Chain A
Amino acid sequence: MGMDRDRREREHLPLRRVEFHILLSLAAGERHGYGIIQDIEARDETAVPDVGTMYRALARMVEDRLIEAAARRPAADAGDERRNYYRITDAGRRMARAEARRLETLMRAARLGGLLAKATK
Chain B
Amino acid sequence: MRGDRLLDVSERWFRLLQRLYPADFRDEMGDAVVEAYRDRAREALNRGGIIRLAAVWVRALVDSLRNGPGERARPAASWRRRGNWGRDVELATRRLRRAPGFVLSTVATLGLGLGLAAVVYTVVQRVLIDPMPYRDPDDLYYVWRDYGTIADLKRGMLAGTDVVELQKAGGVIEQVVGLGRQLQTFAIGEGAEPIEIPVMFTSPGLFDLLGVSPAGRAFAADEEGPGGSPVMVLTHELWRRLGSDPDVIGREVRLNNRPYEVIGVLPRGFVFARNESAGPPQQADAFIPFRVRLDEADPRDGSYAGLVRARRGSSPEQVAAAVEAVGRAVDERDFDGRGLKLYPVGLKSDLVSGIRPALLALALGGVFLVLALLVNLASVLLARTAQREQELAVSRALGASGAAILRATLFEGALLGTGGGLAAALGAFWGTRALVALAPLDLARREAVVVDGRIAGVVIAAGALVGLLAALAPATWAARASLSSLLSSSAVRGGGGHGRLRRGMVVAQVAVSLVLLAAGGLVVRSFERLLRVDPGFRPEGVLSFWVRMPPEFFPRIDDVLALQDRIEEELAALPGVTGASATSVLPLCPRPLPAFAAARTYQTPVRFPGAPGNTGDADRDAPLVDRIGARNTYLDVMGIRLLAGRPFDPARRGAGEALIDSALASQFFPTGSPLGAELRIGDRALTIVGVVRPARLYDIHRDGRPQVFVRAEGFRPLAFVLRTDHDPRALIPDVRQAIRRIDPRLVAAEIRPMEELVGHSLRRQHISAVLLSAFALGALLLAAMGLYGVVAGAVMRRRHELALRLAVGADHRALLRLVLREGASLVMAGVLMGAPGIYFAGRLIRGVLLGVTPLDPLTLTSVAVGLGLVTMLACYVPARRVLGIDPAQLLRQE
Contact = CB atoms under 8 A, between A and B. Distances in A.
Interface of A: 1, 4-5, 7-8, 32-34, 37, 50-56, 58-60, 63-66, 75, 77-78, 81, 83-84, 91
Nearest to B36: A34
A56 B37 contact: no
Residue from the set A56, A83, A91 with the largest chain B CB neighbour count within 10 Å: A56
B86 to A, nearest CB: 15
Contacts of A34: 35-36, 39-40
A108 to B, nearest CB: 26
B37 to A, nearest CB: 6
Nearest to A52: B67
B33 A91 contact: no
A63 B80 contact: yes
Contacts of B68: 52
A56 B70 contact: yes
Contacts of B62: 50
A7 B388 CA distance: 11
A50 B667 CA distance: 108
11 contacts: A1-B390, A33-B32, A51-B63, A52-B68, A54-B36, A55-B32, A56-B67, A59-B25, A60-B77, A65-B398, A91-B397
A75 B77 CA distance: 29
B35 A81 contact: yes
B77 A51 contact: no
A6 B317 CA distance: 74
B64 interface: yes
B39 A8 contact: no
A77 B77 CA distance: 33
Interface string B63-77: 110111011000001
Given A64-B398, A91-B399, A51 B70 contact: no
B268 interface: no
Nearest to B74: A56
B391 interface: yes
B391 A8 contact: yes
Interface string B46-89: 00000000000001101110111011000001001100000000
Given A50-B66, A60-B77, A4 B388 contact: yes
A91 B398 contact: yes
Contacts of B28: 59
B490 interface: yes
Given A56-B25, A56-B67, A58-B29, A51 B36 contact: yes
Contacts of B77: 59-60
B29 A55 contact: yes
A21 to B, nearest CB: 15
Q: Is the interface of B mostly helix, strand, loop or mixed?
A: helix
Given A1-B493, A59-B29, A8 B63 contact: no
Contacts of A37: 36, 40
Nearest to A51: B36
A115 B77 CA distance: 39
Nearest to A54: B36
B690 interface: no
A56 B35 CA distance: 15
Given A1-B493, A32-B32, A51 B399 contact: no
Contacts of A64: 398-399
A46 to B, nearest CB: 16
Contacts of A52: 21, 33, 63-64, 66-68
A63 B82 CA distance: 10
Contact of A83 (B32, B37, B67): B32
A56 B24 CA distance: 12
Contacts of B60: 51
Residue from the set A1, A8, A58, A75 with the largest chain B CB neighbour count within 10 Å: A1
Nearest to A59: B29
Nearest to B60: A51
B394 interface: yes
B230 interface: no
Given A1-B490, A4-B388, A4-B391, A55 B36 contact: yes
Contacts of B32: 32-33, 55, 83-84
Contacts of B21: 52
B37 A51 contact: yes
Contacts of B31: 84
A83 B32 CA distance: 7
Contacts of A75: 39
A70 to B, nearest CB: 13
B421 interface: no
Contact of A33 (B36, B63, B391, B493): B36
A34 to B, nearest CB: 4
Interface string B566-597: 00000000000000000000000000000000
B72 to A, nearest CB: 11
B33 A55 contact: yes
A19 B607 CA distance: 105
Contacts of B71: 56
Given A4-B390, A64-B399, A91-B399, A51 B66 contact: no
Contacts of A7: 391
Contacts of B490: 1
Residue from the set B25, B31, B39, B62 with the largest chain A CB neighbour count within 10 Å: B39
Contacts of B25: 56, 59
A54 to B, nearest CB: 7
A29 to B, nearest CB: 18
A79 to B, nearest CB: 11
Contacts of A59: 25, 28-29, 77, 81
B494 interface: yes
A34 B490 CA distance: 40
Nearest to B42: A78
B40 A66 contact: no
A11 to B, nearest CB: 10
Contacts of A1: 390, 490, 493-494
A55 to B, nearest CB: 5
A78 B31 CA distance: 15
Contact of B35 (A58, A60, A66, A83): A83
Given A33-B36, A91-B398, A63 B81 contact: yes
Contact of A65 (B35, B66, B70, B399): B399
Interface in B377-392: 387-388, 390-391
Contacts of A84: 31-32, 35
Contacts of A60: 77
Contact of A51 (B40, B387, B388, B390): B40
A50 B67 CA distance: 9
B727 to A, nearest CB: 63
Nearest to A94: B397
A2 to B, nearest CB: 10
A65 B21 CA distance: 23
Contacts of B387: 4
A51 B394 contact: no
B59 A50 contact: yes
A63 B398 CA distance: 9
Given A50-B63, A52-B21, A52-B68, 19 more contacts: A4-B391, A8-B394, A34-B35, A34-B36, A34-B40, A51-B33, A51-B37, A52-B67, A53-B66, A55-B33, A55-B36, A56-B67, A56-B70, A59-B28, A59-B81, A60-B77, A63-B80, A65-B397, A84-B31
